Amino acid sequence: MIVMQQVPSFFSVVIPLFNKESSVGRAISSVLSQEFKELELWVVDDGSEDDSFAVASKFQDPRLNVYRQTNAGVSRARNRGIKLATADYLCFLDADDAWDPWHLTEVMRLIESYPDFGLYSVAHRIVESDGSDLIRRIPFTSDACLSAREFFSVYPRFELVNSSTACARKQLLLEIGGFPEQATRGEDIYTWMRLVDRGGFTFSSRPSVTVFRNAENRSNERPLDGVPFHISSFLGADAAELREENRATAISAILRNTMFQAVGAARQKDYAALREMAAAARGHSLVISLFVRLCRLVPGPAWTFFKKVKDIRGGW
């Protein structure tokens, strides 16, 4: 572990790192060049097999700390960063994405304007795999403060938070147990939903994050690997983890997301995942369960078109 001299910080930033030697330098630079200086940065290398650790370790800044662990998955890397963090507020950034210089200033403004919310986020832009820009549609033109039920109603149609835009209090992250380490997909959505369930959601419509889909080793380029954790858990026993007053709206949101996840499984011909998702949905909606099962009958080009429409719309 490489730990620099600690300086007082308002934000702790956590970057989980695995085989991103070509892009992690950009991510780190975007954090260290923030206009808001009161931060510490924890880069948690999850057993990278390339030169990612060496690239991260080259930066000379007292706010940067590089920690290396045996490969255990992105959730354990994020949880390690949460435990190591010393600030009250944690922001997350994927190693292949980047922040605008004013990102933390904007997040700080949200926190000062709307204290004590469960989760904070900002709008983001996307650089596609072919290098083209995609501006996702969002439902707000200014700040938005949403109750959990309001968030769950909107989230199925718009991606309001992801693992490079999210900010939450460390104490609340610890209370919900951080990110589920047994999960390989959907661990982030599961965590965002639990944070919002506890304390609502605040959003800035000013984009300050860029998601690079043309970076190396992107998760969206790998096989889907089964049913996303938030679907299997919240449509099952973990629904009890949600507050009763929010549970029905949250499950409705997850059912809608299940349809979109089924599209991805059908495109990759992961029929086992389709069967599992259909089974999970059956206890809540026979219609959606049937839709999921029928996804395997739709030809691949139709799903490619559907994905493009979804990306332009901006949501699940």
pLDDT of residue 302: 59
Chain centroid to CA 312: how far? 19
How does DSSP classify residue 71? S
Q: Is the Cβ–Cβ distance between 36 and 229 less than 8 Å?
A: no
Q: Which fold has domain 2-217?
A: Spore Coat Polysaccharide Biosynthesis Protein SpsA; Chain A (3.90.550)
* Among candidate residues 292, 232, 302, the one with its CA nearest the CA of residue 265: 292
pLDDT of residue 312: 52
Q: Is the Cβ–Cβ distance between 274 and 295 less than 8 Å?
A: yes
Helix (H, G, I), strand (E, B) or coil at 235: coil
- Sign for the CA dihedral angle at 124, 128, 133, 137 comes to negative
Rounded average pLDDT per 10-residue block, the chain, 316 residues: 63 97 97 97 97 95 95 96 97 97 98 96 89 77 95 92 97 96 93 97 96 70 72 90 94 93 87 93 95 83 60 52
DSSP string, 115-135: TT-SEEEEEEEEE-TTS-EEE
Helix (H, G, I), strand (E, B) or coil at 291: helix
For the record, the structure tokens of 120 come out as 């904070």
Q: How many CB atoms lie within 10 A of CB 165?
A: 28
Q: Is the Cβ–Cβ distance between 160 and 189 less than 8 Å?
A: no
Question: How is the chain split into domains, by residue range?
Answer: 2-217, 235-313
pLDDT of residue 19: 96
**Residue tagged 């000013």 (tokens):** 206
Instruction: Give the whole-angstrom CA distance, residue 58 versus residue 206.
Output: 32
Burial 143-155 (b: 16+ CB within 10 A, else e): ebebebbebbebb
The whole-model pTM stands at 0.90
Give the HSE-up count for residue 250: Cα atoms under 13 Å, Cβ half-sphere.
29
Instruction: Give the whole-angstrom CA distance, residue 63 versus residue 6.
Output: 6
pLDDT of residue 4: 53
Helix (H, G, I), strand (E, B) or coil at 288: helix
Phi first, then psi: what are they for 76, rounded to 5°? -65, -35
Q: Is the Cβ–Cβ distance between 179 and 154 less than 8 Å?
A: no
Q: Which residue type sits at 300?
A: G
Phi first, then psi: what are they for 73, rounded to 5°? 105, 160
pLDDT of residue 130: 74
Stated length of the chain: 316
